[in-house]
Amino acid sequence: MSRKPCCVGEGLKKGAWTAEEDKKLISYIHEHGEGGWRDIPQKAGLKRCGKSCRLRWTNYLKPDIKRGEFSYEEEQIIIMLHASRGNKWSVIARHLPKRTDNEIKNYWNTHLKKRLIDQGLDPVTHKPLSSKPSPGTPKSSDFQDDDSTPSNPDEQSQSDSTSAKSLPPSSSCNLPEISSSEKTPKNDGSLSSKKRCFKRSSSTSKLLNKVAARASSIGKILTASMEGTLMSSTTLSSSLNDEFPENSQFQMDQFDPFSQSSEYITDHMKEDIGMNIDLNNPEYDFSQFVEPFSHIEGENIGGYNQDLLMSDVSSTGVDEENMMRDITSWSNYLVDHSDFTYDLLV
């Protein structure tokens, strides 16, 4: 069955939108609301097709869209979700409110994908590109075996995405602690950029462990969410965006970067928030863990709640178990192979 293109029409304009066109579209939607895209161009006095209007609105003009550089947490969420879902940009976008699927897709293609390649990882499978195992390749015991099933059997190219052998990407060059003056997005992934980012400094180990701790935190939250033990609708971001307190266990002088386990770090995260909890206890009510964070005022990039995750998981038919294996392995990897992570990138 063939269908005529939706945007065929005499005199329809293409290409970049002008400020005048934007103004017309915004004005019309403010007055009449979204929907009925096919009729909008005529009613709004635009020589565009309805589809173009919808895209312009949803991707750029909508008032609650967040623009600009992606935060570290956003990057990690994208990478992890991509590892388990593949190029399901709209699914990934649901976990990053205020970001559009188009923006995430672009960011992946121009930044994150290249970074994975630079690190010797296949951006599709998240496995090493070369058959020869690299010195820091995680021990096989760090990852589950290959009985994982594709997250989406329809996508052969993604068939390995959920493999628990997936190597965790280390996006260390985008660590939030890198000063903004040093962080030149243009050069992400370039050798010079890497060298700049990874001068062996006193903060390197600290940063790597922060990465691992945060990854671990994300993993725990996702785990709890999928298990249904994440009771509150607290946000992920509030637990992740804030720097560790000054007296945190992540202070450099107390830190042995190569002997930490994710459990160690998680334990000290718990100390940081002043709670005595057992995250490894399957009976543990995870809401108690995230509760303190939910009181932190301010940012909310997440809106990363249980309902969202569960609806996402159920709608995509992802293998939750394998996804969590990946996340856990990913965070463990960063801790257990922090020396390799460093060497790889320098």
| Chain contacts with DNA (rule: CB under 7 A) | 1, 3, 5-7, 13-17, 35-38, 48, 50-52, 54-56, 58-60, 87-91, 101-103, 105-107, 109-111, 114, 184-186, 188
Q: Report the C-alpha gap between 146 and 57 in whole angstroms.
A: 43
Taking the complex as a whole, the smallest distance from the CB of residue 276 to DNA amounts, in Å, to 42
Question: What amino acid occupies position 18?
Answer: T
Burial (0-12, 13-18, 19+ Cβ within 10 Å), 241? buried
Which residue lies nearer to DNA by CB, 101 or 336?
Answer: 101
Give the C-alpha separation, 248 to 97, whole Å: 30
Report in angstroms how near the CB of residue 134 gets to DNA at its nearest: 23
Residue from 235, 209, 250, 331 nearest 292 by CA: 235
Residue 127 identity: K
Of the pair 24, 111, the CB lying nearest DNA is at: 111
How far apart CA 149 and CA 252 sit, in angstroms, is: 41
Residue 16 to residue 55: CA distance in whole angstroms: 12
Q: Between the CA atoms of 334, 211, 219 and 139, what dihedral angle is there, to the nearest 10 degrees?
A: 0
Q: Which is nearer to DNA, 33 or 282 (CB)?
A: 33
What is the spatial distance between Cα 99 and Cα 45, in angstroms, rounded to a whole number? 28
Question: Please, what is the minimum distance in Å from the beta carbon of residue 121 to DNA?
Answer: 17
- State which residue, 111 or 206, has the beta carbon closest to DNA: 111
Kindly tell me which of 56 and 337 has the beta carbon lying closer to DNA: 56
Output the smallest distance, CB 261 to DNA, in A: 35
Smallest separation, CB 265 to DNA (Å)? 32
